[in-house]
Chain A
Amino acid sequence: MLQRSAPRSQQLSLGRRLLRDRVLLLFALPGIGLIIAFHYVPLLGNVIAFKDYQPFLGIGGSDWSGWANFAVIFNGDPAFLRALKNTLILTCLQSVFVFPAPILLALLLNSLFSERIKRIAQSILYLPHFMSWVIVVALFQQMLGGSGLLNNYLRSHDLGTLDIIGNSELFHVLLTSQIIWKDTGWATILFLAALSQIDSQLYEAASVDGASRMKQMWHVTLPGLRGIIILLFILRLGDSLTVGFEQIILQQQAVGRDVSEVLDTYVYNNGVLGGAWGVAAAVGLVKGLVGVALVLAANKVAHIFGEQGVYSR
């Protein structure tokens, strides 16, 4: 699926190409309309980052305020820096632990011989993805909370209890674990699809040459996966500053904002709840720009290493 695309189309004029592809374009039209109406038009609302926006006056009626809303970013407002710091910590944790998890799991699943067991395992692993965060958070609290299953068991057997949920020191680890538990299974789908694309003759050839299973993985499997890994990594970078909103808001109170405020919750707490819409929009806008910059940069790097990346050239 990731072979280099066919040579660029044979220098037809734009009109001819449109004419040739008219049916396909017609099919795409509703989708394009939807994206324009619900993605691009709302983007214009970002203009409130430059206004002293009051919802009751509307966008047009609010006064312009220039760059004043960006002051929290440029002057390093402590609350903003705190949100930035937590976001970056979570971004790193997620890149290092969450991103590779489905790759490992996919390799593991792929190595199962019994098709039946594989199917059952897959179904079970996909399940948590369909639970909302409210359920996942509640589930974790019921199992690991101070009066949850684990601690009740420990208490009734006179063992020491474990302070896991609501412990500010473990919060980042807890968030990361919850994401891994919820989404790793689902994320294996793409990798499993890519694995099935690898030509089995390559494995045969490798084993004829005496390659062990480890060597086969290193020399056949992983190179076969490289394209999709890089593609997904670049896409992930684009929203790497999006480290989870609902999941965090639901657990923010217990651990305090010192460890739990991230850029997205900052925007919500200041904008929707605090009424500082302009500042919130400014922070959101900067976050979006950083995301775009990261994608462009990563794509560039991918090209340098001869990969296709998200888009070519």
Chain B
Amino acid sequence: MTRIRLTGLTKVFDGGVTALDRLDLTVEPGEFFALLGPSGCGKTTLLRTMAGLEQATSGTIRFAERDVTRVAPGDRDVAMVFQDYALFPHMTVVDNISYPLKVKGRAKPERTARAEEVGRQLGLEALTARRPSALSGGQQQRVALARAVACRPALFLFDEPLSNLDARLRLEARGFLKRLQRELGVTTVFVTHDQAEALALADRIAVMESGRVRQLGTPREVFARPADTFVANFIGSTPMNLVPAEVEGDRLRVAGGVFAAPQGVVAGSAKVTAGIRPEYLRLHDAEPTDAPDAPTGTVSILENLGATTLVTVDCGGESLSAVVPEDAEPAPGSRVWLTPQPGRLLVYDNDSGELLPRRDPAG
């Protein structure tokens, strides 16, 4: 098992674009680690730099304390799965899987035996004689994984491993991928732009933007306490409510009503942004007794999400959305009151966009 340690990693492309900006990151041994961000945030460049396909402009990359910053890709003991799988179209499945071993100069019987063993492990035994063009997308993806597994690397790098699959297959492949990583216990870094995929698969997530890590944490941390408004916006299948607010003592004035301010938020920062996930917002059809002056408004839109409904409420000139169970759906146009679940209300600084109170001033 290999620990990855990146220090001060910077990549500036020839055109002058800074893709990675003094990045520090440690991936623990055996961890399933996600690099998440919108396109152009540098996540793929970071993965390619780890693989050695891009040269770092400055900084160092260490795999298990070995400095590999200037080491050729083939000598880093990594296996990479590409977004388009990059299966060689002129080779059969078994030749594709055993190609890394061929490059390493292993004898043919050993190669074939290992390829067939890995193929069996991944449920490909019936397909070994086929060419990639005769496989479905999901099968191609598994062959690409098998090829990576067959060379028994110290590290897996996956570039958008699920993005070329259709929605249903993606869920299936997600479970498969997670189980495979657990069984092999190999440190794995994967890149994705899909926050749901990152939340579902990763042990830890680095949310990236403009070549920097905006937040690093477990899926639960990143989902429940986004470190800034960028992460808050990016994570979650229903976007977080982010509305202007004012701190008054221990109260927070939001959308024509009042919430209790989270602990530690002081009146010094008067103008702030309040953030609350729709999933953490409760709807009441009468003014709640324990929360007088809660924001109130009329229901404008109902969106069916299956077992839940996304309710948009116009209140005090703002639109707030809340997720309610299907049997608690309010009628459109009815008046409702909103309260946050305890401990779920977040407050962000208007200038820096950072979460208040800052827990770790150094970070």
- Interaction A to B: no
